[in-house]
Amino acid sequence: MEGGMEELMPRLLPVDDCDLSEDFDPTVPPRTPQEYLKRVQIEAARCPDVVVAQIDPKKLRKKQTVNISISGCQPAPEGYAPTLKWQQQQVANFSAIRQSLNKHRNHWRSQHLDSNVTMPKSEDEEGWKKFCLGERAYSETDALSDNENLGIDYIKVGFPPLLSIVSRMSQATVTSVLEYLTSWFGEKKFTPELGRWLYALLACLEKPLLPEAHSLIRQLARRCSEVRVLEENKNEEQISALNLIICLVSRYFDQRDLADEPS
Residue-wise pLDDT tens digits, 94-117: 999 999 999 999 999 998 898 889
Lowest-confidence pick of 20-34, 85-99, 237-251 = 20-34
Helix-strand-coil split of the chain, %, nearest 5:
55, 0, 45
H helices within 60-205, ranges in order? 84-103, 105-109, 125-139, 154-157, 163-166, 171-185, 192-204
State the pLDDT at residue 127. Answer: 95
State the pLDDT at residue 157. Answer: 84
Q: Where are the domains of the chain?
A: 84-112+123-139+153-258
CB neighbour list of residue 149: distance below 8 Å, 6 or more residues apart? none
Task: Write the burial class of residue 74 (CB in 10 Å: 0-12 exposed, 13-18 middle, 19+ buried).
Answer: middle
State the pLDDT at residue 141. Answer: 58
Under DSSP, the state recorded for 250 is: I
CATH architecture of 84-112+123-139+153-258: Up-down Bundle (1.20)
State the pLDDT at residue 144. Answer: 46
The whole-angstrom separation of Cα 228 and Cα 243 is 9
The whole-angstrom separation of Cα 218 and Cα 249 is 7
* Residues 84-90: contacts with CB under 8 Å, at least 24 apart: 84/262, 86/247, 87/247, 87/251, 87/259, 87/260, 87/262, 88/251, 90/244, 90/247, 90/248
State the pLDDT at residue 45. Answer: 74
| Average pLDDT, rounded, for the chain | 82
The whole-angstrom separation of Cα 94 and Cα 100 is 10
Tally Cβ neighbours within 10 Å of residue 196. Answer: 15
The whole-angstrom separation of Cα 126 and Cα 181 is 10
> What amino acid is encoded at 223 in this protein?
R
State the pLDDT at residue 253. Answer: 97
Beta strands per DSSP E along the chain: none
- Tens of pLDDT, residues 116-133: 899 999 999 999 999 999
The whole-angstrom separation of Cα 252 and Cα 95 is 8
> Are the CB atoms for 94 and 252 separated by under 8 Å?
yes
The whole-angstrom separation of Cα 189 and Cα 233 is 13
